[in-house]
Amino acid sequence: MSDLAWFRFLGRPAKGLAAILGLAGLLGGLDLSLAQPVPSTDLSLCQPRQVLECQASDCQKPDTQPPFSLYVHPAMAQAWLKLSAQPDDHPPMPEAKPEGMTTETVDEACFDAPVVRLPVEAAQVQWVTLLHNDVARPMRGGLMIQYDMAGGHPDWVKSIEAIDPTDPADTPSSVNALPQPTGGHKPTRWPSRRAKATWVWAAQTWVEQPVELAADLAGQGIDRVYIDVPLVNDNQALGYPKTLKAFLAEAYRQGIHVWVVEGSPYGLTVSGQKTVLQRARTYQAFNATLPQAHRLKGIQYDIEPYLMPGYYANPALWNQAYVALMNQVKTETGFALDSVLPFWFDQARVPRLMPDASGSFLEALAPYIDTVTIMDYRTRPEAIETFAQPFLAWGQQSGKPVVVALETGPLPDESFEAYRPLGWSTHRRARLWLLPYDPDHKLLVLLKQGANLGSAGEAFRFSHHVTVPASRVTYHDQFARFQGDLTDVSRRLQRWPAFGGMAIHFWGSYKALLVGDKMPVEPETSPTP
């Protein structure tokens, strides 16, 4: 019997088993308490038909669908569990769409998804997700779970990752390679000056005080700024075109290059891709009304697809969509493009980055972007340098400048739970299980209480808590140290020709550091045009 067949079998013969045991009890004096029905939950995680554009001409047929990534909002996963119907029936979709879900991810979403039967009540399932086998494989030696404490959902899992098997401290896996500067391909001309950049997330800052903002930025040596630009009329027009023109003129007078910052994990869905392209076209049309010297210099994309709950069900597919989208934006608009990536986004952390092991994500992305910005959010210069080096080596080979960003905003401490393999036992009980789902995926299930989910699953025991203090990630409330480390890191990275400068996340928190405030002074929301 296959693993999947076994999980479909679990709990199914409960009534028949009860009848057999009951008859045996009458005949042989068996304890009839053994004949009680076994609680069970039928779990089917649906995959959306239209999250990504089909590549094959006949992909509309269910039996020729490409391997779509799972797209499950935690609240929706819970709803599926609670609405679970009869055995072998697919759980009905919830009536209300959770925030952030688009129509194509809900309507007509379920089709012939495998059904896994768990021998526990649905109320005992705390969290569940689908992992591609390439993602699940390194986790078999142990994994870390982080809960969404900052988001106000302490029962939801924010992130999971394999424990680094070479690290005796059982900390989350990270970049280990330490490449050194080499020769290789170089662009026609490396930047003669390294940038000092920052983000202005709240459009209200430049809308209300464009001249003052440009002066403040220049006063801190900022020569590149990424700004949020509100659009109106279904992204067909700018909300504040005159004010933006005034800000651009003043910024360039002060020697500051202005980029638009865009991005959402949902930008890779079908509707999200259309939105991304339309917004880029609108910025292009706006630029055409300006003198060459006063135009937006480019678009920075902070998409972060790994934040979608279904990313790890098929990382290669989402990464392929990311590359295709950048190709389309570049082809249609000609904008200079910058891609924002976390320092851990390499093959050591996210295996099978591209379909069929055709190469790394960065290699595939290189033809369509002009720079990369690395969210190197650590507070020790040695660690910052270590995590930046793989990207700087790639930048030198590909001819792309790499900007290294540091965090100054207020963040909470990060708390992880470490789990280790429990080993096989007929009586094993555990909260965390890795179960077979289909030939390409594993199901990771977290229970509220320990239970035995059967011999086909891999059980994990809780090992210990790991707390990563915010002070390891952000320089918030550490102004003097930040200024010294900023200089130190810049000096360390100067030896890399691909080093394109430093970026400070973000202007509001950095300005708060300058004046000694504990909270960011920049509003968190943009004005309504």
Q: What is the pLDDT of residues 340-388, one digit of tens each?
A: 999 988 654 445 555 555 568 888 899 999 999 999 999 999 999 999 9
Percent pLDDT > 90 in the chain is 45
Q: CA-CA distance, 179 to 387, in Å (whole number)?
A: 10
Give the dihedral sign, CA 504/263/277/284.
negative
Whether 17 shows a pLDDT value over 60: the answer reads no
- Dihedral angle sign, alpha carbons of residues 168, 174, 179, 181: negative
How confident is residue 31, by pLDDT bands cut at 50, 70 and 90?
very low
- Cβ atoms of residues 211 and 250 within 8 Å: yes
Q: Are 513 and 475 in contact (CB under 8 A)?
A: yes
Please check the confidence at residue 196 and state whether its pLDDT lies above 50.
yes
Three-state SS for 197? Answer: strand
Q: What is the mean pLDDT of residues 493-516?
A: 94
Cα torsion 67, 134, 451, 89 to 10°: value is: 10
Query: Of 33-37, 157-161, 186-190, 323-327, which has the strongest mean pLDDT?
Result: 323-327
Q: Is the pLDDT of residue 14 over 70?
A: no
Instruction: Look at residue 28 in the predicted model and tell me its pLDDT.
Output: 35
- Which residues, at least 6 apart from 306, have a Cβ–Cβ distance to it below 8 Å? 265, 312, 315, 318, 342, 345, 350
Q: Do 263 and 303 form a contact (C-beta atoms < 8 A)?
A: yes
- Res 190 pLDDT > 70: no
In this prediction, residue 93 has a pLDDT band, given cuts at 50, 70 and 90, of very low
In percent, how much of the chain has pLDDT > 70?
A: 65
pLDDT for residue 41 = 60
355 and 317 Cβ atoms separated by less than 8 Å? yes
* CB 317 within 8 Å of CB 69: yes
* Pure H helices in 301-426: 315-333, 361-365, 381-398
User: In 3D, which of 222, 230, 212, 331 has the Cα closest to residue 286?
Assistant: 230
Tens digits of residue pLDDT in 115-165: 677 788 767 877 777 788 888 988 999 999 987 766 656 666 778 888 865
Ranked by mean pLDDT, which of 84-88, 96-100, 282-286, 435-439 comes out on top? 282-286
Kindly tell me if the per-residue pLDDT of 183 is higher than 70: no
What is d(CA 249, CA 244) in angstroms, rounded to the nearest whole number?
Answer: 9
- pLDDT of 7: 27
> What is the number of alpha carbons within 13 Å of residue 174 lying toward its C-beta?
17
Least confident range from 185-189, 190-194, 295-299: namely 185-189
Q: Which amino acid is at 55?
A: Q
- Angle subtended at Cα 255 by Cα 249 and Cα 258, rounded to the nearest 5 degrees: 60
User: Could you count the other beta carbons within 10 Å of the beta carbon of residue 357?
Assistant: 12
d(CA 127, CA 43): 12
Of residues 65 and 105, more confidence is placed in 105
**Nearest by Cα to 418 from 431, 436, 435:** 431
Task: Tally Cβ neighbours within 10 Å of residue 188.
Answer: 5
Query: Is the pLDDT reported for residue 208 higher than 70?
Result: yes
pLDDT in the model for residue 82: 34
pLDDT at 499: 96
